[in-house]
């Protein structure tokens, strides 16, 4: 069964889950149905992606999301590109929630294009079934053209470890089969964005590329890692065809905590290959007076980290001490001269090594850390080492209490030596 739902007329009856999206400046209250909330794209991510899409010349036609969930992403596209859109969703309540969410954003952002509101439609149906959906939309007078841009964010089983392509719902190959003949193209091919799990492996990325290649040979493809900070990748998407960057197989997008600020975007890198595993750690003889910097782990994951680091004041004069985990670390002899702004939060902290402590970080040993901090005129010492979550606040609290009463002036941090049973004390200068 295929049913059409319109933002202009859809009531909220029976829709319950209604939450403010804290990433939106406007604090939009979105409806989510049948536990759709964790699946939904945060508004800020959806918006920044729509803004990025605006720079590309799309073919003629309408914008389609064939697994639209709560409709957040497709609504952002409509707002930024100022076009009516079509969202397809198997789950009826979610399709209805999408229509209401579209209306909320349209109204609250002061939308004036009645054409955009009237012509936007959500389809309760199977997003793989291009022929059937096109026939329904055409019969209802909603579309007169083919698809300009296809967005696909398939659902993944919650407890999946494998993140196999066959577990995606709907499956990429089935969507491609269903829609290929309905996609308009430019000279660079169709415009397709595949929004995938950030946890897929390199081999699975290659599988996705091969699958796209089997339907549309020779298209450009740009993998895009999006992070909202704290080293976490929120989204890993493949931009295909006329929305890919011909010369760049990779892109890193860092969305700032302040939603009014533009994202940091970096293009570059090597194509994905089986061997492409970015950076390798070495074991170095760490010396007092040299520097340690923590690097954003999401940037490391994107494979673009070395290209970016080499634009900083120390050039390529650094080595990797640690490349995995939440806090990748580099070691360098020259001070990092770039301002916090230039570093765009991708190096959250950098400092000079002033001391080594041959001890674990525990409640029993904490006084030793305080003593050394005082010796180096440190007023605040932040733990940047892996510590059990229940112990961390106790240790940090103890450091803070003991240091605040003294007369230190400097800011320091503690890092665990990557290969020895030792901690390092660094000063930010
Ligand atoms: C990850 S969510 C999409 C979230 C969306 N991007 C947003 O911003 O809210 C994937 C959705 O695909 C839907 N789905 C799964 N199989 C489908 C199919 N064959 N056709 C249409 N929708 C499907 C699921 O019900 C789910 O809501």
Residue-level pLDDT at 70 = 95
Instruction: Name the token pair of 259.
Output: 């939603």
Whether 131 and 91 map to the same domain: the answer is yes
Split into its structural domains, the chain has a count of: 2
Residue 274 inside a domain? The answer is no
Whether 227 and 344 map to the same domain: the answer is no
Residue among 136, 169, 178 whose CB has most ligand 1 atoms within 8 A, to mutate: 169
Residue 281 inside a domain? The answer is no
Cβ neighbour number for residue 390 with a 10 Å cutoff: 7
Whether 204 and 66 map to the same domain: the answer is yes
How far are the Cα atoms of 49, 69, 106, 165, 252 from residue 194, in angstroms, in the given order?
12, 15, 25, 12, 16
Whether 254 and 332 map to the same domain: the answer is no
Is pLDDT above 90 for 249? yes
Q: 93 alpha carbon to ligand 1 midpoint, in Å? A: 12
Taking only the tens place, the pLDDT of each residue in 46-91 is: 999 999 999 999 999 999 999 999 999 999 999 999 999 999 999 9
* Cβ atoms 97, 70 nearer than 8 A: yes
Residue 202 inside a domain? The answer is yes
Torsion (CA) 320, 325, 326, 328 in degrees, nearest 10? 0
Q: Work out which ligand 1 atom sits closest to the CA atom of 36.
A: 27
Q: 63 alpha carbon to ligand 1 midpoint, in Å? A: 16
Q: What share of the chain is helix, strand, coil (3-state, %, to 5)?
A: 30, 25, 45
Q: What's the predicted TM-score (pTM) here? A: 0.92
Residue 279 inside a domain? The answer is no
Whether 318 and 205 map to the same domain: the answer is no
Say which residues have a Cβ less than 8 Å from residue 97's Cβ, sequence separation at least 6.
15, 17, 30, 31, 32, 33, 36, 70, 71
Residue among 37, 89, 178 whose CB has most ligand 1 atoms within 8 A, to mutate: 89
Count helices and strands in the chain by DSSP H and E runs: 12, 19
Whether 306 and 407 map to the same domain: the answer is yes
Taking only the tens place, the pLDDT of each residue in 20-36 is: 898 888 899 999 888 87
Residue-level pLDDT at 33 = 83
Is pLDDT above 80 for 40? yes
Measure the CA–CA gap between 377 and 412, rounded to whole angstroms: 9
Question: Looking at ligand 1, which residue's alpha carbon is closest to its atom 26?
Answer: 69
Whether 243 and 138 map to the same domain: the answer is yes
Whether 110 and 244 map to the same domain: the answer is yes
CATH number, residue 336:
3.30.2130
Q: Which residue has the tokens 């970096």?
A: 266
CATH number, residue 224:
3.40.50.150
Taking only the tens place, the pLDDT of each residue in 254-294 is: 998 888 888 999 999 999 998 766 678 888 899 999 999 99
- Residues in contact with ligand 1 by the CB-under-6-Å rule are 36, 39-41, 67-73, 88-91, 94, 126-128, 153-155, 169-170
Of residues 153 and 256, the one with the higher pLDDT is 153
Whether 80 and 220 map to the same domain: the answer is yes
Taking only the tens place, the pLDDT of each residue in 301-350 is: 999 999 999 999 999 999 999 998 889 999 999 999 998 888 888 999 99
| Domain with 419 in it | 291-428
Q: 316 alpha carbon to ligand 1 midpoint, in Å? A: 44
Cβ neighbour number for residue 358 with a 10 Å cutoff: 11
Q: 67 alpha carbon to ligand 1 midpoint, in Å? A: 4
Q: 28 alpha carbon to ligand 1 midpoint, in Å? A: 21
Question: Looking at ligand 1, which residue's alpha carbon is closest to its atom 13?
Answer: 67
Radius of gyration of the chain (CA): 25
């Amino acid at each position: 069964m295929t049913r059409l739902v319109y933002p202009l007329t859809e009531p909220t009856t029976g829709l319950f889950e209604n939450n403010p999206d804290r990433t939106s400046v406007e604090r939009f209250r979105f409806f989510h149905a049948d536990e759709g909330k964790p699946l939904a794209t945060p508004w800020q991510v959806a918006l920044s992606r729509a803004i990025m899409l605006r720079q590309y010349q799309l073919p003629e036609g309408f914008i389609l999301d064939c697994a639209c969930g709560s409709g957040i992403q497709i609504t952002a596209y409509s707002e930024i590109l100022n076009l009516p859109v079509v969202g397809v969703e198997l789950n009826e309540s979610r399709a209805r929630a999408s229509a209401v969410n579209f209306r909320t954003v349209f109204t609250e952002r002061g939308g004036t294009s009645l054409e955009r509101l009237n012509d936007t439609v959500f389809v309760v149906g199977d997003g793989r079934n291009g022929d059937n959906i096109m026939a329904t939309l055409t019969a209802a007078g909603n579309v007169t053209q083919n698809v300009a841009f296809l967005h696909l964010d398939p659902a993944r089983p919650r407890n999946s470890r494998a993140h196999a392509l066959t577990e995606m719902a709907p499956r990429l190959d089935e969507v491609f089969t269903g829609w290929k003949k309905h996609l308009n193209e430019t000279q660079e091919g169709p415009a397709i964005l595949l929004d995938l799990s950030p946890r897929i492996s390199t081999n699975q990325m290659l599988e996705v590329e091969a699958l796209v290649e089997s339907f549309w040979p020779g298209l450009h493809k740009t993998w895009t890692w999006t992070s909202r900070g704290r080293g976490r990748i929120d989204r890993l998407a493949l931009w295909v065809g006329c929305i890919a960057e011909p010369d760049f197989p990779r892109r890193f997008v860092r969305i700032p905590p302040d939603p009014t600020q533009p994202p940091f975007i970096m293009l570059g890198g090597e194509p994905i290959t089986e061997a492409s595993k970015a950076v390798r750690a070495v074991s170095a003889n760490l010396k007092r007076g040299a520097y340690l910097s923590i690097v954003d782990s999401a940037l490391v994951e994107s494979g673009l980290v070395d290209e970016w680091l080499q634009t900083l004041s120390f050039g390529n004069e650094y080595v990797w001490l640690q490349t995995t985990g939440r806090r990748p670390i580099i070691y360098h002899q020259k001070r990092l001269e770039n301002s916090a702004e230039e570093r765009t939060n991708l190096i959250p902290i950098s400092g000079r090594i002033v001391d080594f402590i041959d001890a674990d970080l525990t409640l029993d040993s904490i006084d030793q850390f305080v003593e050394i901090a005082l010796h180096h005129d440190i007023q605040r010492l932040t733990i940047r080492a892996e510590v059990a979550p229940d112990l961390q606040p106790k240790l940090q609290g103890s450091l803070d209490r003991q240091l605040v009463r003294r007369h230190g002036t400097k800011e320091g941090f503690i890092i665990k030596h990557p290969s020895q049973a030792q901690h390092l004390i660094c000063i930010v200068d």
